[in-house]
């Protein structure tokens, strides 16, 4: 199978690479572009550890072909912090102890980022529903909810 040339914006920088038509975005991000923050958890889209932002939507990069990102914009956990300052969702997870082992955290952060773009003033129930596609095997989710609430308040006051 012939490789295809694709280009897209990754965390604010234009990137170009060659991919096989069947190659998944998560593998291109991790193996070709060195963005190893997004994790491969289940390969079935159930866990959400691979969640990234693609063209303004949360996607599970283990179910998206890399060619689908062509001419698009991809944000990974590596692109959240700006100028050495944590994004409010990162700060919230740190301040509210929203992680334990950290495996799910990159996907949680990216989903929280997009969720708060979609709903900047969510209720606890809305947060639970909005984050429900991302699984954590360590926490009871309560601190993750608190972390998203923290980020929402910080983003509203900014």
Q: Say how far apart CA 68 and CA 82 lie, in whole Å.
A: 26
Q: Tally the C-alpha atoms within 13 A of residue 78's C-alpha that lie toward its C-beta.
A: 15
Domains and CATH numbers, the chain: 4-77 (3.10.20.30), 88-157 (1.10.150.120)
72-128 confidence digits (pLDDT tens): 999 999 999 999 999 999 999 999 999 999 999 999 999 999 999 999 999 999 999
Asked whether residue 43 carries a pLDDT value surpassing 80, the answer given is no
12-21: pLDDT as tens digits: 999 999 999 9
pLDDT at 44: 84
94 phi, psi to nearest 5 deg: -70, -50
The Cβ-side half-sphere exposure at 147, using a 13 Å CA radius, reads 28
Record the pTM. 0.95
- Report whether pLDDT(129) > 90: yes
């Amino acid at each position: 199978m012939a490789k295809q040339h694709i280009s897209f914006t990754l965390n604010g920088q234009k990137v170009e690479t060659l991919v096989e038509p069947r190659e998944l975005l998560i593998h291109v991000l991790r193996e070709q572009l060195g963005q190893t923050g997004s994790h491969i958890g289940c390969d079935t889209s159930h866990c959400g550890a691979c969640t990234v932002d693609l063209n303004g939507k949360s996607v599970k990069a283990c179910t998206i072909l890399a060619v689908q990102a062509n001419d698009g914009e991809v944000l990974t956990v590596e692109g959240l912090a700006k100028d050495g300052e944590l994004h409010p969702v990162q700060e919230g997870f740190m301040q509210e102890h929203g992680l334990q082992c950290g495996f799910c955290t990159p996907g949680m952060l990216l989903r929280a980022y997009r969720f708060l773009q979609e709903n900047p003033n969510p209720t606890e129930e809305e947060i639970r529903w909005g984050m429900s596609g991302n699984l954590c095997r360590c926490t009871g989710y309560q601190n993750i909810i608190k972390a998203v609430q923290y980020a929402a308040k910080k983003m509203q006051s900014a």
